[in-house]
Amino acid sequence: MALFVLGCSGSNEDVGASKQSVTTPTVSQKAAKNKVTINPDNATAQSVITLSADTSLLVNAAINWYVNGSIDEFSGGPRFASSRLKKNDIIQAVVTRNKKEYYSNKIRIMNTPPMIKIAKMVPALPKVGATISVEVDAHDVDGDTIYYKYKWTLNGKYISDQNYLSTDFKRDDMIVIEITPYDSDDTGSTTFVKNKIFNTTPVVTEGTPSFDGKIYTYSIKATDVDGDILTYKILEGPEGMSVDSSGAVTWKVRPKDAGKHKFTILINDNNGGELVMPITTRIGFK
């Protein structure tokens, strides 16, 4: 005779398993739900700091921001920014709801690197023989002392790290100055200023008049630091006056030419440099 034993599906163990399918929030889950955080971690004095929390926590809640442990009376809401912030300030937010306070993490305000606002070469139109410097206007929001690194290049070749440049330039040389600001903590962005060596106007070093009673001469001595060949032209003068390629003015004087005369010579280096030379002379006969 065979004996069969049938199992029953309605055991206490099955009921227990059914109850475990309904979960109850743990303490850690509640804490995560009520967590208040502020970001970014690398905020600077000019940053906008934002608060993050579960939406339900912020309903009918008050948000206060603290700077170095003192409440900021001018702030409120999930975003915080202040022109009064400075490096190393400690920022924290507190959410108050139903008389309960929820504290955020703390953020230390980081250093802000200095920033160059304006930089320019002096003189603005450098020429052969010039000493070139740089004028810089920079700002540091933290009020730190600003220092500068310089790098000069001449026609693409590094030449100096001083705050000025003085060397044997020639016309059309290309100059670049790289200026990098920095404070005691960080380095700011580099600014580049480009320029070139401009043409130099001819210079008259000597002018010598002479008159022998018949021929009037005026010898012009002019130089050009760029080494340009100079040309001369009479812009205004008495009839018969001429000037040659060396700057020698010649005039065959007639008796009726006695008296005061004015004439003007144009000296040209043919590279954009011109000098107008006015001359006054008096012709007299013995």
Is pTM beyond 0.85? Reply is no
Q: What HEC string does 149-209 produce?
A: EEEEEECCEEEECCCEECCCCCCCCEEEEEEEEECCCCECCCEEEEEECECCCCEEEEEEE
In whole angstroms, give the CA distance from residue 61 to residue 101.
10
User: 275-278 long-range contacts, Cβ below 8 Å, gap at least 24?
Assistant: 275/201, 275/202, 275/203, 275/204, 275/222, 276/235, 277/204, 277/207, 277/220
80 pLDDT more than 70: yes
Q: What is the mean pLDDT of residues 19-48?
A: 67
**Domains defined for the chain, CATH in brackets:** 33-108 (2.60.40.10), 115-196 (2.60.40.10), 203-283 (2.60.40.10)
Averaged over 89-110, what is the pLDDT? Answer: 96
Distance CA 277, CA 235 (A): 10
pLDDT higher than threshold 70 for residue 164:
yes
Q: Which residue has the higher pLDDT, 124 or 18?
A: 124
- Using one digit for the tens of pLDDT, what is the confidence trace for 40-77? 999 999 999 999 999 899 999 999 999 999 999 988 89
Question: Rounded to an integer, what distance in angstroms lies between the CA atom of residue 93 and that of residue 71?
Answer: 9
